[in-house]
Amino acid sequence: MARSRSVRYFDSPGSRAFDVFNGVLLTGLAIVTVLPMLYVLAGSFATESEISSRPFFLWPEKFVTDTYRYIFSTDTFVRALLTTVAVTAVGTVVQLFLTLTMAYPLAKRHLPGRALVLNLVLFTLVFSGGMIPTYLVVRDLGLLNSYWALILPLAINPFYLIVVKSFFQELPEALEEAARIDGCNELNVFLRIVLPLSKPIIATFSLFYAVAIWNDYMSPLLYIDDSKKWTLQMIVRQLTAANADSANVLQQLESVAFPEQGLKFAVVVVATLPILFFYPFLQKHFAKGVMIGSVKE
Amino acid sequence: MATELAPNQVVPPALPMTESSPRRKRRGGRQRPLWRDLLRYRWLYVLLLPGLAYFIIFKYLPMYGLTIAFKDYVPFLGYSGSQWVGLEHFEALFSGPDFGRLMINTLILALLTIVFVFPAPIVVALLLNELRIRVLKRSIQSLIYIPHFLSWTIVASLTYLLFSVDFGVIAGWLHSVVGGQRVDYVAQADWFRPLIVLQLLWKQTGWGTIIYLAALASVDTQLYEAARVDGAGRWRQFWHITLPSIQPTIVVMAILTSGNLMDSGFEQIWLMTTSLNRDVADVFDTFVYYVGITQGSFSYATAVGLFKGLVGVVLIFGSNLLAKRLGQRGLF
């Protein structure tokens, strides 16, 4: 990313002063960006009294795990966590399947009808039916209160589809041609030649899709009424949102004494942690994925 | 000619565009009958089918469903059985009490986005570009990208934990500086817009730099060398080389942003809406939810959504046209 090292500026005092200023400013920016997350992490291991009495801390005075023990002892939270993990896993597989199978034929320029389908896809980027008509389709399919409603309506991200299509287009045609001469049909070419070559992009988009489902709040809000089927994001929102309908969902459902504030910190941490865990992998790939998509046709 | 975009980022037009090869001519130029194509490419069509079904069911059926914006939709009667009412719902929207408020709230948020959120990644990318210590640059990038991957629920919760009246850290700190009554920043109408902007800045600035950094990285270093030989200082190099090099990217991003001006981010707004701030918080997206899902007025809500969608289409084509008129390379 960085400009070549051969480029040097005149090292005037003003220029050097700017470098120091710039370095400090950007470092400060990065710190400010992560501080809220670090505070919440620290808060989740602190006692109730520490959270309410100490203004800000990055390390709790007294290290306790009460909040975590509490939330993992409630059915509500554990169920939501397992639901979210399962929906994310199944959803990612479904989304990848649909995206890859659709992108491959679209990458074949000679395929009759390709332009039409491609334009159908591109049009959805500019215009869509919107919330209510989509809701009605989901309802008419009988998917309300079904986990499939969290997966199917978002099954293909058109942006990702186009990026994957561009990737397939850039694969060397000669390899596929050779396989065809050896008697492979298109399906086998796709499965045996193209997919193994696409591991990096498959890795990238499985992560992107997984993050999107994990983070999705709108779909459960629209399609899931049954609180037993709530995902983690719904629980987070119910517990911590400014306009949370009930101050405490977990207590309502379990009626046990609980660490009220620390609980919110811990729930936020658990809902964030998997993403932070996968973040290094995401980061490794996303710049590549981003640039591959930059193709005009 | 179709244009393809990747999420949040568009081609830095400084890069050469590929895919110039014309559609391959069929041997002999003969038109093959359709069934032979279908047979020959059967596996490709089989692969295409599930994805195509997805687009038809979940993208194009809802577009057909938009017809209920001109009907009095009764679930029992279905799409075709419900009565046509023409533009009744649109008239109700434009003459109703909510329209002015929704429009103003949406426009103010759009304006704040243009003024504060849009330039932020450009500034940060330019500053990062000037950073000469590579390790530092990399680490800063890694840290400021993180919030992009957190959900709006998490962002709203963090906001709550930091700004809430009873134990929020920043709320407490502001109280000790300003004094007076404790303020409930999260619930108050006055603080709704500043918090929304703050959230957007925190979540999207870092990620937004990627596209500009890519454009900056593609600048030919010989330009800088030549400028140096000619005696250009750092500021002049920045002004005459660096800045012009990302200008096309800025234009493309501006077109995209203006196309999205009516999209106020449903999840974000919805999560920050309280009973106290609804007057300033309600935008078209959340209004559609209230009216449609909560109150069950499907037709009216669909009309509101359709109005918003059409304005979005006009905006994106309009700004694209404007960019071309101004001598810039448009998006399509």
Query: In the prediction, which pLDDT does B32 show?
Result: 67
- Contact at CB, A110 and B23, closer than 8 angstroms: yes
Do B146 and B206 touch, CB atoms closer than 8 A? yes
Best probe of the A interface among B32, B61, B153, B260, by most A CBs < 10 A, is B153
Query: In the prediction, which pLDDT does B31 show?
Result: 66
Query: In the prediction, which pLDDT does A264 show?
Result: 85
pLDDT-derived band at B12 (thresholds 50, 70, 90) equals: very low
CB-based contact, B46 to chain A, within 8 Å: yes
Closest CB to B41 among A30, A111, A275:
A111
Q: Which of B 231-270 lie inside 8 A of A, CB atoms?
A: 233-234, 237, 259, 266-267, 270
Please determine, for residue B1, whether its predicted confidence score (pLDDT) is greater than 50.
no
CB-based contact, B17 to chain A, within 8 Å: yes
CB-based contact, B209 to chain A, within 8 Å: no
CB-based contact, B202 to chain A, within 8 Å: yes
Do B214 and B121 touch, CB atoms closer than 8 A? no
Secondary-structure breakdown of chain A: helix, strand, coil percentages, each rounded to the nearest 5: 75, 0, 25
Phi-psi region of A183 (alpha: psi -120 to 50; beta: other; left: phi over 0): left
Please determine, for residue B169, whether its predicted confidence score (pLDDT) is greater than 70.
yes
Q: What is the pLDDT of residues B201-235, one digit of tens each?
A: 999 999 999 889 988 988 888 999 999 888 888 88
Please determine, for residue B57, whether its predicted confidence score (pLDDT) is greater than 90.
yes
Give the position of tokens 């938009």.
B66
Q: How far is the alpha carbon of B129 from chain A, nearest alpha carbon, in Å?
A: 7
Best probe of the A interface among B35, B151, B213, B293, by most A CBs < 10 A, is B151
Closest CB to B234 among A10, A162, A239:
A10
Q: What is the pLDDT of residues B42-54, one digit of tens each?
A: 899 999 999 999 9
Do B303 and B310 touch, CB atoms closer than 8 A? no
Q: Which of B 110-169 lie inside 8 A of A, CB atoms?
A: 124, 127-134, 136-137, 139-140, 142-147, 149-154, 156-162, 164, 166-167, 169
CB-based contact, B198 to chain A, within 8 Å: no
Write the CA distances from A252 to A150, A241, A260, A263, integer angstroms: 26, 16, 12, 14
Across the A/B interface, how many CB contacts are shorter than 8 Å?
Answer: 348
Where are chain A's structural domains? Answer: 13-64, 75-292
Enumerate residues 6+ apart whose C-beta is below 8 A from B70: B84, B85, B86, B87, B89, B303
Cβ neighbours of B64 in A, within 8 Å: 129, 133
- Contact at CB, A98 and B288, closer than 8 angstroms: no
For the ranges A6-10, B30-34, B93-97, B143-147, the lowest mean pLDDT is seen at A6-10
- Contact at CB, A290 and B9, closer than 8 angstroms: yes
More confident residue, B130 or A11: B130
Query: In the prediction, which pLDDT does B9 show?
Result: 40
- Percent of all residues in chain B with a pLDDT value above 90, rounded to a whole number: 50
pLDDT by 10s per residue, chain A, length 297: 444 444 455 578 888 899 999 999 999 999 999 999 999 999 899 888 888 787 788 899 889 888 898 889 888 899 999 999 999 999 999 999 999 999 999 999 889 999 999 999 999 988 899 999 999 999 999 999 999 999 999 999 999 999 899 889 988 888 888 888 888 888 888 998 899 988 888 988 898 899 999 999 999 999 999 888 999 999 888 887 644 544 445 555 444 455 677 888 899 999 999 988 888 877 776 655 555 444 333
Query: In the prediction, which pLDDT does A199 show?
Result: 87
What pTM value is reported for the model? 0.86
Quickly list DSSP for B84-120: E-TTHHHHHHHHSSHHHHHHHHHHHHHHHIIIIITHH
Best probe of the B interface among A128, A243, A284, by most B CBs < 10 A, is A243
Please determine, for residue B282, whether its predicted confidence score (pLDDT) is greater than 90.
yes
| Minimum CA–CA partner of B147 in chain A | A33
CA-closest candidate to residue B318, choices B330, B303, B306:
B330
Residue B91 included in any domain: no
Do A225 and A151 touch, CB atoms closer than 8 A? no
Mean pLDDT across B171-184: 76
Query: In the prediction, which pLDDT does A279 show?
Result: 83
Residue B160 included in any domain: no
Q: How far is the alpha carbon of A187 from chain B, nearest alpha carbon, in Å?
A: 6
Q: How far is the alpha carbon of B113 from chain A, nearest alpha carbon, in Å?
A: 19
Cβ neighbours of B9 in A, within 8 Å: 290, 293-294
Q: Which of B 91-120 lie inside 8 A of A, CB atoms?
A: none
Mean pLDDT across B294-303: 94
Give the Cα separation of A166 and A169 in Å (integer).
5
pLDDT-derived band at B280 (thresholds 50, 70, 90) equals: very high
Residue B69 included in any domain: no
Q: How far is the alpha carbon of A41 from chain B, nearest alpha carbon, in Å?
A: 11
Q: How many domains does chain B have?
A: 1
CATH 1.10.3720.10 fits A75-292, yes or no: yes
- Tell me the CATH number at B294: 1.10.3720.10
Query: In the prediction, which pLDDT does A289 show?
Result: 54
Q: How far is the alpha carbon of A266 from chain B, nearest alpha carbon, in Å?
A: 11
| Minimum CA–CA partner of B214 in chain A | A1
- Contact at CB, B156 and A242, closer than 8 angstroms: yes
User: Which alpha helices (DSSP H) does chain B contain, by range?
Assistant: 34-40, 42-55, 61-65, 78-81, 88-95, 98-112, 119-130, 134-145, 152-163, 169-178, 192-217, 221-229, 234-237, 243-259, 266-272, 278-281, 284-288, 298-325
Closest CB to A153 among B58, B66, B169:
B58
Please determine, for residue B29, whether its predicted confidence score (pLDDT) is greater than 70.
no
- Contact at CB, B44 and A186, closer than 8 angstroms: yes
- Percent of all residues in chain B with a pLDDT value above 70, rounded to a whole number: 89
Cβ neighbours of B10 in A, within 8 Å: 294
Helix (H) or strand (E) holding B150: none
Three-class secondary structure of residue B224 per DSSP: helix
Show the domain range for B248: 98-147+204-325
Mean pLDDT across B288-293: 94
